[in-house]
Chains A and B, each alone.
Chain A
Amino acid sequence: MNAAAVFKTGDRVKVHVHNPPHHVRTPAYVQGRSGIIERYCGAFANPEQLANGDHGMPAIHLYRVRFSQPDLWQIAEPGAINDSVDVEIFEHWLQACDERK
């Protein structure tokens, strides 16, 4: 890992929209969506390079990001007002974000 973690618990972040030809671990349903950093998980080998037979170094900071169910889906289930999905996302997929979207 090259640098300190950019984000901290409680920060609002937005997930990049990106559809590269290689393997990624960022599900499409959170791309372009914003959520809150739930916790920092540590730095791990980059899975996008590992899948290609590479060593995946330098390691990349990994976070758990909490997305609100009603924010994520246009039609949320009844009762889902406080429901959420926590997803692990690598730092290079995230950017700081002010607005809830």
Chain B
Amino acid sequence: MKENNHHDHDHDHSPPPDEAGAPGDIQFLEMAMRQLLIEKGVIDANEIRATIEAIDAVTPALGARVVARAWCDPEFKRRLLADGTAACLELGIDIRPTRLVVVENSEQVHNVIVCTLCSCYPRLLLGLPPDWYKSAEYRSRVVKQPRSVLQEFGTTIPDSVAVRVHDSTADMRYLVLPLRPPGTKKFSEEELAALITRDSMIGVTRASAASDG
């Protein structure tokens, strides 16, 4: 019997490696700034830890709640499209001072979000962006070849539907309001929220079809 035959479980056997290479200028600047702020009593280490914990605690479930409500309540949807930040506040989701622009998919238009200059992202609704969203490849290609990029995500956009790319270059942040999948008429708001994925709110996919769930 081979030594590793009992290893049919899925944990890794070695810890993930630390980031390769020595810290760069930016890392040293951050460390120096952090230590100075702590030494001067401006902030303390626990506040930094708590802030990181709070950032990591935001998941796309928050955005999904907003979308599910918009699918169920046309008046809320109208307010959400008019002023995303104010509408989120109605649900107790305070993303101020972020200015949220919600863009609605329809039978005629499919929206997709990018930040070509850096990686601006609706973090307060979706959490931290996926690595591909920050990649130079996605950022440079989706503004020029959105249909090809969407196809690579498995999303085919027919010629009858216009693709609208939103480049978050300045102070707005964007959230795509996906089309409600067919066959979900009797779904509760919670059941609908389960169909709304992170990628559908970035716009690289549609919301999951009810039969997929």
Which residues of A does B touch, CB under 8 Å? Answer: 25-27, 29, 41-42, 44, 47, 62, 64, 69, 73, 77-90
**Residues of chain B at interface, number, CB under 8 A:** 24
Residues of B within 8 A of A26 (CB): 169
Residues of B within 8 A of A77 (CB): 145-148
Return A31 CB to nearest CB of chain B, in Å: 12
Q: What number of A-B contacts does a CB cutoff of 8 Å give?
A: 73
Which residues of B does A touch, CB under 8 Å? Answer: 99, 101, 116-117, 143-148, 157-159, 162-172
Residues of B within 8 A of A85 (CB): 143, 164-167
Chain B residue at smallest Cβ distance from A84 = B164
Return B13 CB to nearest CB of chain A, in Å: 45
Q: How far is the CA of A26 from the CA of B158 in the complex (A)?
A: 31
Q: How far is the CA of A101 from the CA of B19 in the complex (A)?
A: 47
Q: How far is the CA of A44 from the CA of B166 in the complex (A)?
A: 19
12 A-B residue pairs with CB within 8 Å: A29-B116, A29-B144, A42-B99, A64-B101, A77-B145, A77-B148, A78-B159, A83-B165, A86-B165, A87-B167, A88-B171, A89-B170
Task: Give which listed residue, B144, B159, B169, contacts A87 with CB less than 8 A.
Answer: B169
Contact flag A41-B146 (CB < 8 Å), given A84-B165, A86-B165: no
Q: How far is the CA of A49 from the CA of B47 in the complex (A)?
A: 29
Q: How far is the CA of A84 from the CA of B110 in the complex (A)?
A: 10
Return A64 CB to nearest CB of chain B, in Å: 7
Task: Give which listed residue, B117, B163, B166, B170, contacts A80 with CB less than 8 A.
Answer: B163
Q: How far is the CA of A8 from the CA of B116 in the complex (A)?
A: 25
Q: How far is the CA of A62 from the CA of B143 in the complex (A)?
A: 20
Closest 9 CB pairs of A and B: A79-B159, A88-B170, A82-B162, A83-B163, A85-B165, A87-B167, A44-B171, A88-B169, A77-B147
